[in-house]
Amino acid sequence: MAVQLHQAGRLEAAEQIYRQIVAIEPNHADAIHLLGVIARQSGRHAVAVDYIARAIRLKGNVAAFHNNLGNALRDIGELDKAVACYLRALELKPGYAEASYNLGNVFQDQGKPDEAAVRYRCALERKPDYAEAHNNLGSVFHNQGKSDESLACYRRALALKPNLAEAHNNLAVAYKCQGKFDEALASFHRAIELKPDYTDAYGNLGNLLKLQERYAESQDAYERALRLDPGRDLLRLSIAAVCPAVFESCAAIDEYRAGLLAQVEQLGQAAFNVDVSQLGESAAEPPFNLLYHGRDDRPIKAAWARLFRKLPSQETGRSRSARPKLGLVVTQNHEGIFLRWCTELLRRIKPNGWELVIVCSRAGAPQVQAALGGSGSQLLPICGQFHQIVKTVREARFDVLCHWETGSDSTNYFLPYFRLAPVQCNLAGIQVTSGIPQMDYYLSSEYIEPAGAEAHYSEKLLRARSLLGYQTRPLLPTVPKPREAFGFRAEQHLYACPQNLRKFHPDFDPLLADILQRDPAGVVAIVEDRGACLTPMLRRRLAKTMPEVFDRVVFLPYQAYTDYLGLLSASDVVLDPLYYSGGTTTLEALSLGRPIVTWPSRFQIGRGVLASYRKMGIAGFVANDAAEYVRMAVALGTDAAHRQAAGREIQAASGELFEDLGAVREYQRIFDQLVEESRSR
């Protein structure tokens, strides 16, 4: 009767009868074991361990007892003991599919994906229709960057068990990583439909909707997850971190930022609970879109970091080898921009007695290896849950860790907190402070930083004597597209701003409007975002803020690279947006001899064009205020002789921006300095 009640999910009634049995027969091993199983199902994990261990003392040759003790030990984090239990179960019952499956789960927890895959395959050899094993084998493949294999496993799991909510959730995550957002959305919704209390699926759905700029829906998904699990404080930060990409006004930006800072400070006044295993997928890092606001991000970043002051941040010891180890950290999906800026540098840097290691995702390792093979650098692939990544990097025992980006995803934001090297340096992959106390240095350039810039950083600012880039000239099309191919007439004056639409600050709108009002033949060319939401949002705002000239603002479809270069070549003037200067766009436009008009901000993120002009040794077109920005742009747009003379000067000086061996020497000098400091501590 008790077993029937137990199988029907009536746990309290079943437990009462099991207790009656044990009262009559104190050494009834089966009833004691099942009391332990019910305790585990009820969340009383320590009690479960006690009961099942007692059952094993009475009857030690039952494989299921050892298997279930392993499950209970895994629940309380005793992973090594759990492994021993599963192995004992397999000794007693060779081919025990459930024990092999559970052993695979523990190996996943321990960051041993290859061992986990072996155990899942063993389970499937014995039980080919084991949907959960197919699903979890798919997770191993996903963490290893084997997307096709992972998708095949998830689909096989769902073919066997269509109502397996976990497989739908995992399939959605895989689709999201491939950029298949519609398919991911459908799978997340299916997972939630099957399991309405699925906290992780709601959290993952929130992450996806935020990527799609669907902010209200994203916030709703996070709030549903928080209602299901009120103790998961990271979700409170995920909700706070929902930041629109397009604001209607500066007042709206300031109101949002003030509210965000107040919210974070309020969270810091109470106990803030952090599950380290959840950090890597939490989306609880500061909002990335803060970068586009033209404000000082240090106060918000510092308040955010204070929430995590109790993370285990013991200092990692130096490497045991005679050669110091310097690591460059680049996380998944950021390899492309990292390699674009760093490949040629890393090929030319000659470590001065130290070893260079690229810490990258297992999924991104082939791309990094293909670009840097033969450069002398080593690779340390990382994968698995966040705490496993921390363990992998800590055990590598770096002397110095340089973080390419800090804050573009959860993993690269939270890694520095764990002090995985005696010296840590924030590189300029993201051009703003991290706010993290464990980050020692921020590496920037004397060409770009204004006087007093130290106040903008929580790190100690290092000013390099170069632009810190070794770039080769872009390969330009032999015959670029004429402007007519983009829909513009020869007599029009083309002002191009082919930038990320998030850079179009409300303060930029009146400058664009003034340019078009002063130049009746002018048109402004903007390139649409690849996502579906952002372009309509910006269109609506510009239609409101500059209605008299909005008909001369042209949104072009997202351009292939050669067409984008053709657009730059066809333009008369390139407009640098306010507060967030162009990066690769700047180099490409200047290599084509296109004049760029800029109004530098007081933060380095808005001073890229200024830095390039300084490196080139020319005055360029650097405005001191809005009126001067407009005058410079219109003068270039309407005066062909002036524009052509500027183009010739830029073309002649642009060689200073490319193949700069000075940048190589500066990285060499600074890396030497950081390694020496680490070894002297």
pLDDT digits (tens, 9 = 90+) for 446-473: 999 999 999 999 999 999 999 988 999 8
Assess contact for 567 and 516: CB atoms under 8 A: no
CB distance 132 to 157 below 8 Å = yes
Calpha distance 436→380 (Å, rounded): 24
* Model confidence band, residue 275 (pLDDT cutoffs 50, 70, 90): confident
pLDDT of residue 318 exceeding 70, the answer is no
Cα R_g (the chain), whole angstroms:
29
128 vs 108: which has the higher pLDDT: 128
| Confidence grade of residue 292 (pLDDT, cut at 50, 70, 90) | very high
pLDDT digits (tens, 9 = 90+) for 133-144: 999 999 999 877
Inter-residue contact 504 to 475 (CB < 8 Å): no
Shared fold status for 1-128 and 483-657: no
Strands 460-464 and 573-575: unpaired
Supply angle C-alpha 208, 211, 216, rounded to 5.
Answer: 80
Buried-state track 324-360, b at ≥16 Cβ within 10 A, e below 16: bbbbbbbbbebbebbbebbbbbbebbebeebbbbbbb
Average pLDDT, rounded, for the chain: 93
Percentage of the chain beyond pLDDT 70 is: 99
- Predicted pLDDT of residue 289: 95
**CATH architecture assignment, domain 325-472+663-680:** 3-Layer(aba) Sandwich (3.40)
Per-residue pLDDT tens for 569-579? 999 999 999 99
Q: Record the tokens describing residue 550, joined without a space.
A: 């909005």
CATH number of 483-657: 3.40.50.2000
* CA-wise closest residue to 421 among 80, 671, 76: 671
Q: Which CATH architecture has domain 142-230?
A: Alpha Horseshoe (1.25)
- SS3 of 70-126: the string is HHHHHHCCCHHHHHHHHHHHHHHCCCCHHHHHHHHHHHHHCCCHHHHHHHHHHHHHH
**Cα separation of 402 and 488, whole Å?**
46
In the beta sheet, which residues pair with residue 598? 622
What is residue 387's predicted lDDT score, i.e. its pLDDT?
Answer: 83
**What pLDDT is attached to residue 178?**
85
* Residue pair 218/186 in contact by the 8 Å Cβ criterion: no
User: For residue 183, what pLDDT band results from cuts at 50, 70 and 90?
Assistant: very high
pLDDT at res. 321: 66
Q: How far is residue 459's CA from residue 149's CA, in Å, rounded to a whole number?
A: 42
Q: Is a pLDDT exceeding 80 seen at residue 315?
A: no
Asked if 529 and 501 touch (Cβ cutoff 8 Å), the reply is yes
Is 213's pLDDT higher than 90?
Answer: no
408 by DSSP, 3-state: which? coil
Q: How far apart are CA 356 and CA 323, in angstroms?
A: 10
The predicted pLDDT at position 479 comes to 80
The upper half-sphere exposure of residue 552, i.e. CA atoms within 13 Å in the direction of its Cβ, equals: 21
In angstroms, rounded to a whole number, what is the distance separating the alpha carbons of residues 397 and 107? 23
CB contact at 8 A, 75 and 58 = no
DSSP 318: P
Q: Domain extents for the chain?
A: 1-128, 142-230, 236-306, 325-472+663-680, 483-657
What distance in Å separates the CA atoms of residue 364 and residue 337, rounded to the nearest whole number? 12
pLDDT confidence of residue 317: 62
Of residues 278 and 170, more confidence is placed in: 170
Phi first, then psi: give them for residue 214, nearest 5 degrees: -95, 75
pTM: 0.89
pLDDT average, residue stretch 491-520: 97
What is the CATH architecture assignment of 1-128? Alpha Horseshoe (1.25)
Number of other residues whose CB lies within 10 A of the CB of residue 87 = 14
Residue whose structure tokens are 């991104």: 364
Q: How far out from the chain centre does Cα 254 lie?
A: 25
Per-residue model confidence (pLDDT) at position 384: 76
Residue 538 near residue 503 (C-beta atoms within 8 A): no
pLDDT band for 316, please (50, 70, 90 cuts). low
Res. 211 pLDDT band, cuts 50 70 90: confident
Q: How confident is the model at residue 428 (pLDDT cuts 50, 70, 90)?
A: confident
When pLDDT is averaged across residues 99-123 and rounded to a whole number, the result is: 92
pLDDT above 90 as % of the chain: 82
Question: Would you say residue 128 has pLDDT above 80?
Answer: yes
Nearest to 127 by CA among 97, 162, 87: 97
